[in-house]
Amino acid sequence: MFNLDRNTVFSSLMGILIISLVINCFTEIYNASVVFPVLGTLVVGGILVFSALFTRIASFLQLHWIDLMVGAGITCMIVDYLLGNSDLWQLGCLCVLILYCILRLIRKINYVVIYIGVMLAAFLLATIGYLQLFKILPSGNSHFSITGYYHNPAVYAGVMSLLLCVIVGFIIYTFRYSFYRKIRNISYCLCVFCFPVFICADSRAAWVALIVSVCWGILRIYRLQIRMLYKSYVPVMLVLLFALSLLASYGLYKYRPDSVDGRILIGKVGLEMIKNKPLTGFGAGGFAANYMYYQARYLKEKGTEHEKYLAGSTHLAFNEPLRLLVEYGIAGLLIYVILIYYILQSRRNHLIIRLSQMLLMAILIWGLFAYPNRVFPIILFTVLALALLVRLDKVKRKKVLLTSRCFVVIKVTFLFLVLLLGDGISNMLPDYHQLYLLAHSSPNMMSEKVLGEYNKLEHRMTDEIGFYYHYCLTLNRYRKDELLKEKLSFLTSRFPSPTVFVLKGDVHKRLKEFIEAEESYKMAHWMMPTLQTPRGKLAFLYQETGRKQEALLLANELLTEKVKVYGFATHDLHLKLKEVFSEQLTKSLIKKSKAYEKN
């Protein structure tokens, strides 16, 4: 089982890659939770390609429609990269697609070695979670106790649910076979170790994804036995399943009703977007670029008080079918449905096929409540599972014989791609390190030095939203208003948010462009009505421009309404409002008390 041959080495590299998805060895790199797995994918893909130069790959290839889609994706991404339109995320996705091709061409894979990599990854991820839970390791987000090396617990729990899905699926499938007894016993212990921290991560989407995928796996693995049972207990089983589903749905809703209502609001606004462009969609990244504008319009025109209270600053759909409809129209949704059909269709009862199907099922379910397209480990898991599924699919397809000349062309092509990606990513690493240093630089640093560094980075990070966000904050700090206006246009078109429009309003105000400042503050307010900062800025603007009655009404509203999240910024705003409007508020209070006494 563990002979050290070339196939075992290849499979060990895949296991190491899976482990790299849950750890992070970078400390001073901006967006390190993405940079490290992207680099790991490139390194493993590069080693596999270099190894393939000295070995013979599969003598023929059975072409699949997914292979053609992957080929089209690689072509588009290479063109984008050569045109200078790619960021680190796109290069990482290109690495993943190349890895798909390598897995399709490798002759044999030692699946046990890859499974050991999955178990080690689950063990490491759970260990990190426990260390964070007991305050031994710092969390990646000060608002949550468990995040792993990710930015929030939803991603941590999502990745954990996929690893546990494979482990539980392995236990279910091999339950009847004594050959796997030792590794199955280790899997039992690992489940006992992982489940408590998985539950403590408090992610309903991950819980549902794991439960549904495991139940579906049981139905597929033991379908013959279940059919025999159905003959006697069909009505009872259906009623029981329906009742349990209703009870579970109600319980999950009551557990966090505001969260569910917030997702419903996103769905309503998303439907407004779909109505405008149902066929073509808004294009890649169109949801993030347009959603906040549509949310502002919806809340202003027909939003209820509860919806205004729930609305937040988001650029995620929290539902993959909704995002695909918004960005790619009906064609995007159609491809999604075809992919689901391919994943769920009946196949021979093979261990790796069932584990791949269960893994993809978990990703599909998690994608109904979260954002798998923005989590690099989940993208990698999706592509690896699809590669294994297509590889083992015995449906008759057209065979393409690979001659010696084909071998040379394939190997040289992949070697060129890996070298191209290696050059691109290695050039980006110093830039991401420099961006991290700039984002954490002291406010007392010389403005010329800091802005000079940002200027150097700009032409190499033209599509990096995080770069422009920090650049604009720095320009605002040093009051470089004309340049700030220019750079804010990128964020307002690609990643609009209340923060961006408050910055925009501040710039216009300092430049005495009061009408534009008012419009920006109002847009920020309607994007997220519970946020007090835009209305506070608007009150001060009205006070300075002589609209004192409107300023007073706003100040009174801000000081008396229920605050959704009372933080330091809200405290400072209230202090400033009381300082500026104290005399007017006192007079207003006296007038109200006199009117009350007369009545």
Contact 260, 208 (CB under 8 A): no
- pLDDT at position 593 is 42
Length in residues, the chain: 599
Domain limits, the chain: 6-255+346-421
- Amino acid letter, residue 574: H
Contact 106, 8 (CB under 8 A): no
Nearest to 257 by CA among 310, 207, 308, 299: 310
Q: Buried b / exposed e across 558-589, counting CB within 10 Å, b at 16+?
A: beeeeeeeeeeebeebbeebeebbeebbeeee
What is the C-alpha to C-alpha distance for residues 505 and 488, in angstroms, rounded to an integer?
11
Give the residue ranges of DSSP H helices in 277-312. Answer: 286-302, 305-310
- pLDDT at position 595 is 41
Nearest to 171 by CA among 179, 163, 180: 180
- pLDDT at position 330 is 92
Q: How far is CA 6 from CA 3, 100, 107, 117, 345, in A?
A: 9, 18, 10, 17, 33
Q: What is the pTM of this model?
A: 0.89
Nearest to 363 by CA among 341, 345, 385: 385
What is the C-alpha to C-alpha distance for residues 138 and 146, in angstroms, rounded to an integer?
9
Cβ count within 10 A of residue 488 = 22
Residue 62 DSSP one-character state = E
What is the C-alpha to C-alpha distance for residues 81 and 424, in angstroms, rounded to an integer?
9
Per-residue pLDDT of the chain in tens (599 residues, 90 and over written 9): 444 566 787 888 888 889 888 887 777 788 777 888 888 888 887 777 777 666 666 555 677 778 888 888 888 888 877 777 777 888 888 888 888 888 888 878 889 999 999 999 999 999 999 999 999 988 878 888 999 888 889 999 999 999 999 999 999 998 878 788 889 999 999 999 999 999 999 899 999 999 999 998 988 888 777 777 666 666 777 777 778 888 888 887 788 888 888 999 999 999 999 999 998 899 888 999 999 999 999 999 988 999 999 988 888 999 999 999 999 999 889 989 988 888 888 667 888 999 999 999 999 999 999 999 889 899 999 999 999 988 887 665 656 666 667 767 777 787 888 888 888 888 888 888 888 888 887 777 767 888 888 888 888 888 888 899 999 999 998 888 899 999 999 999 999 999 999 999 999 999 999 999 999 999 999 999 999 999 999 999 999 998 888 888 888 888 888 888 788 888 888 888 888 887 776 665 445 444 434 44
- pLDDT at position 61 is 66
Contact 491, 472 (CB under 8 A): yes
- pLDDT at position 211 is 93
Q: How far is CA 464 from CA 38, 45, 87, 89, 458, in A?
A: 16, 24, 6, 9, 9
- pLDDT at position 538 is 93
